[in-house]
Structure 1
């Protein structure tokens, strides 16, 4: 598969066995969800071990403080894309909004088409993590997660679930979709934690 690979590579930023791409490959299994532009039927459910379980419309989500992040992303299939600009809501702002209970240690992100992915709470709340609705100044396309995706750039990009619809805070770690199908529970690209046996 051709990704429009960049010839020069900054090895200080490039995890092992990754190649830099100037494009943004579209990789997923199943259908791509499409929404009306007004998003009147869309909501984000936040629950589990929180003080204030919440359902946010897209308009309510946009009323939360916006943040911007620049980072590199690394796909488990071997491509990396440098210098991505994201706009969205900090995961810490979401946590403050609902009040996370002390016993919460993990997060399960739920998305359209039954997709789920799990991350430790400290990774979900990392300074660079956010719920993104824009990439490089433009709204996300449907293929890249419109209207909302989680971005956790220090982990392999399957952890940055597209088409997010729910966030649940939990006391125990449970496998998400790809983790049930052989992917690593954590997914550190610098340690090449691609699969369960790595």
Structure 2
């Protein structure tokens, strides 16, 4: 066992695919992201508007709850915190559901979404994000298990309470911290 990986994880350079809600490919120009709920300003951003917010690169391990870790994964995109600043979460906002175009959702505390390592990613390892990995834009929350990094991102809905997403409703851990082995319940 490697001590630079979370407990129970095995390194891989492959990027296995797991999908609950497959959707048809979407051209980048047709992409729309909505931010709503417990925000002062509802937002809807298209591809060009999102890209205009700047680009940062993040190199981080990506951990799957099934036990693999893709090490040194290189993502490029805009920090979600920068987008949330424009929407201005209300004083009572504590949690969010991130939604895919197909209806899949993941629950996250607002403090996880505003972490500096969280991106709205449009690039993987120096190339446009492929459809099978969530392109044109996916959420990347590298300090949580991969089910929190929603592919085919369409909407982020803020709440003033915790709300369960797809896997949380099915017994997965609410936080999903790989370093604590928070896989289930």
Aligned residues: 185
CA displacement at 1:123 relative to structure 2: 0.7
- What is residue 181 of structure 1 aligned with on the other side? 170
Q: Is the 8 A contact 1:108 1:118 kept in 2?
A: yes
**Following the alignment from structure 1 to structure 2, what is the Cα–Cα distance between the partners of residues 154 and 26?**
19
Q: Please tell me whether residue 27 in structure 1 is matched to residue 18 in structure 2.
A: yes
Q: Identify which of 152, 157, 164 aligns with 2:153.
A: 164
**Following the alignment from structure 1 to structure 2, what is the Cα–Cα distance between the partners of residues 38 and 19?**
33
- What is residue 3 of structure 1 aligned with on the other side? none
Cα 1:195/1:59, change in 2 over 3 Å = same
Larger Cα-atom Rg: 1
Instruction: Calculate the TM-score normalised by the size of structure 2.
Output: 0.95
Give CA-to-partner distance per residue, 1:46-98, whole Å, 9 cap, x none: 11111110111111111112111111111000100111111101011011111
Deviates more, 1:23-32 or 1:104-113: 23-32
Q: Identify which of 131, 142, 145 aligns with 2:131.
A: 142
Q: Identify which of 39, 47, 51 aligns with 1:50.
A: 39
Give CA-to-partner distance per residue, 1:4-46, whole Å, 9 cap, x none: xxxxx7x2321111100111001113424311x3533x31101
Tell me which stretches of 4 or more aligned residues in structure 1 moved more than 6 Å. Answer: none
Gaps of at least 5 residues in structure 1 are: 1-8
Q: Is the 8 A contact 1:146 1:163 kept in 2?
A: yes
What is the Cα-based RMSD across aligned positions, in Å?
1.3
Give CA-to-partner distance per residue, 1:94-114, whole Å, 9 cap, x none: 111111211111111011211
Instruction: Calculate the TM-score normalised by the size of structure 1.
Output: 0.89
- What is residue 4 of structure 1 aligned with on the other side? none
Q: Secondary structure at the match of 2:154?
A: strand
- What is residue 116 of structure 1 aligned with on the other side? 105
Q: Identify which of 19, 36, 39 aligns with 2:29.
A: 39
**Following the alignment from structure 1 to structure 2, what is the Cα–Cα distance between the partners of residues 79 and 25?**
9
Q: Is the 8 A contact 2:21 2:103 kept in 1?
A: no
Q: Please tell me whether residue 80 in structure 1 is matched to residue 69 in structure 2.
A: yes
- What is residue 3 of structure 2 aligned with on the other side? 12
Q: Secondary structure at the match of 2:35?
A: strand
